[in-house]
A and B are shown apart, each in its own frame.
Chain A
Amino acid sequence: MTAAAEGSIAYRKARQNAKPLLQSEAARGFALVSPTLAFAVVMLLVPILVVIAHSFWTQNYLTVDYTFTLEQYRIALTEPIYRDLLLRSLFISFSVSVLTVLLAYPIAYYISFHGGRHKNLWLFLITIPFWTSYLLRVMSWKVILGYNGVLNSGLLGLGIIDEPSTALLYNSSAVIITLTHAWAAFAILPIFVSLEKVDRTLIEAATDLGDGPIRSFLRVTLPLSMTGVISALLIVMIPTVGDYVTPKLVGGKDGVMISNAIQAQFGKALNWPLGAALSVSTMLVVSAMAAASVLLLRLLVRRAR
């Protein structure tokens, strides 16, 4: 028995001695995360820094001139074609994110408050369309909105219109509709998660204290679910600004977005610095727009109370 006790003391000592370096929680956590971190640094952080560096350089036919210049940014932000593309991309991504969140909120609310036992099934139902081929989903919208498309032939069949409308496809609204559809799941999930965390007794308390359904929604449920609304807004707004496939397939000439210009600079035009400056400007401008939207939204919700 004494031997066993001594053994356990010796064992503990050995453990304590080994502790400082590898046994410390921080070091072990850091060691464990390091492969993933290294990958993200090499494949994401460094490339983004390289892009930022390129945006201050100039393309000289096949070589790059490394003298520092802001010329690329001047072109990206003031040349009419790029400025218009950037503004249109911002308009589209703003509309898409606002529309997606507005459409998603009631459904997230419904699932969270009235979903009952089938909450998981509802969420699964909503995520399925999102997992079908992105290209083909966009293609489907082309089929729906086209001249000979489903919507036109349906409206013709019902006698609502006399000849097929050309106004449906190849413009910004076609891009907005398609993207709103494509990003629906991304907006519903975060809003749903934040609604799930809303303490139901608070709503009861508001009702007991005389708030009607609208007031208790505006004063309790909505403010408490704002984190979800904001993440939904950001998770849709920032990626959609750079969407490439949708404008290319359903945007036509009037729906071209900045990503199409970025792709051209990295592809045929072979002007990496300009492509880099366009990418960086897009990121900065969309981040500014996202920040402004979040502030505005917070202000509006506070007012609504």
Chain B
Amino acid sequence: MKRLLDRWLPAYAALYIVFLYLPVLLLPIFSINTSAVPKFPLSGFTFKWYEELPRTTALLDAAWNSFIVGIAASLLATILGICAARAITRYRFPGRRPINGLIMAPLILPEIIVAVSMLLVLQRMGLGLTLFTVVLGHVLICIPYSVTVLTSGFEGFDRSLEEASADLGETAWGTFRRVTLPMMAPAIISSLLVSFTISLDDFIMAFFLAGTETTLPIYIWGQLRFAAKLPSVLALGTLLLVGSFILLTIAETLRRRAERRTHLTGVAVA
């Protein structure tokens, strides 16, 4: 039994990875295929679908909007994430668990329900739907991820370093700026990147809250209705895939470095 398991588990793991990657790898494959219909066998190699992209103004507008929304949402989500992660890892206070639960709730709630609830309130308040409302929605769904990334960076953070700084006469703000912030920097950058990626990819929030504005996923959604547009959408998707991959690799490397650094200093000081 044990030997059977030892032999089958790696094979299963490999198969599982194939299952995970197959749909993702189809994007780049069909984006350089000459045929507009994505099917095997491939008909020939071309970059024409990519060449079309920079000439499409609607796409460029949507990309710019997504970029602005992503920057704003990731900054806000990370600032709010820092407050929450710091409060939760550093202090004990009454209501900590329910507060944490509420902040993390968007992770588990169906996104459409969160989106329509926000839509309802924003409409009731008479707030027009613009990119600003999309940013608000994205901040809400990014905070749980931001808090998760930051908490893993903050845990194991050695409090005695801050105490030492305070004892040596540094003010609270000075301690934060010169001790806490540098230690947290990798986790913070990692949170910014993860939030940006989520915002860039999010469709549901933008779909309900963007009004007449478009972001990249809304643009893609519109294009998916036309079969002939599929290859250029796949080309765009491939570019997004490469972009997210690079951002997340940086985020992961930084997060790990932050983890190692806080643990190492913890050990060194102890």
- Residues of A with C-beta under 8 A to B37: 148
State in angstroms the CA–CA spacing of A25 and B159 once bound together. 14
Q: Would you call B267 an interface residue if the criterion is a C-beta within 8 Å of the partner chain's C-beta atoms?
A: no
Q: How many Å from the CB of B41 to the closest CB on chain A? A: 8
Task: Tell which of A44, A242, A276 has the most Cβ of chain B within 10 Å.
Answer: A44
- Residues of A with C-beta under 8 A to B203: 134-135, 245
* Given A106-B9, A276-B120, A30 contacting B93 (CB threshold 8 A): yes
Q: Which of B25-72 contact A (CB under 8 A)?
A: 26-27, 30, 37-41
Q: Would you call A140 an interface residue if the criterion is a C-beta within 8 Å of the partner chain's C-beta atoms?
A: yes
Q: How many Å from the CB of A61 to the closest CB on chain B? A: 16
Task: Tell which of B1, B2, B23 has the most Cβ of chain A within 10 Å.
Answer: B23
Q: How many Å from the CB of A147 to the closest CB on chain B? A: 10
* Given A238-B108, A244-B204, A107 contacting B90 (CB threshold 8 A): no
State in angstroms the CA–CA spacing of A244 and B164 once bound together. 52
Size of the A side of the interface (Cβ < 8 Å), in residues, is: 83
Mask of B70-89 contacts with A, CB within 8 angstroms, 1/0: 00000000011101101110
Q: How many Å from the CB of A78 to the closest CB on chain B? A: 21
- Residues of B with C-beta under 8 A to A143: 26, 30, 38
Q: Would you call B269 an interface residue if the criterion is a C-beta within 8 Å of the partner chain's C-beta atoms?
A: no
Q: How many Å from the CB of A36 to the closest CB on chain B? A: 4
> 8 closest A-B pairs (Cβ-Cβ)?
A242-B110, A29-B91, A47-B117, A140-B23, A33-B87, A29-B93, A32-B87, A26-B93
**Is the Cβ of B124 less than 8 Å from the Cβ of A50?**
yes
From A111, A134, A212, give the contact of B201 (CB < 8 A): A134
In the complex, the chain A residue whose C-beta lies closest to that of B256 is A120
**Is the Cβ of A36 less than 8 Å from the Cβ of B83?**
yes
Q: Would you call A87 an interface residue if the criterion is a C-beta within 8 Å of the partner chain's C-beta atoms?
A: no
Task: Tell which of A46, A137, A184, A275 has the most Cβ of chain B within 10 Å.
Answer: A137
In the complex, the chain B residue whose C-beta lies closest to that of A27 is B93
**Is the Cβ of B91 less than 8 Å from the Cβ of A110?**
no
Q: Would you call B184 an interface residue if the criterion is a C-beta within 8 Å of the partner chain's C-beta atoms?
A: no
* Given A32-B86, A40-B140, A157 contacting B40 (CB threshold 8 A): yes
Q: Would you call A282 an interface residue if the criterion is a C-beta within 8 Å of the partner chain's C-beta atoms?
A: yes
Q: Would you call B248 an interface residue if the criterion is a C-beta within 8 Å of the partner chain's C-beta atoms?
A: yes
Q: Which of A35-62 contact B (CB under 8 A)?
A: 35-37, 39-41, 43-48, 50-51, 54
**Is the Cβ of B252 less than 8 Å from the Cβ of A124?**
yes
Q: Would you call A3 an interface residue if the criterion is a C-beta within 8 Å of the partner chain's C-beta atoms?
A: no
In the complex, the chain A residue whose C-beta lies closest to that of B95 is A30
* Given A114-B10, A262-B112, A44 contacting B87 (CB threshold 8 A): no
Q: Which of A65-73, A125-133, A218-226, A297-305 contacts B (4 or more CB under 8 A)?
A: A125-133
**Is the Cβ of B24 less than 8 Å from the Cβ of A107?**
no
- Residues of B with C-beta under 8 A to A136: 27, 220, 233-234, 237, 240-241
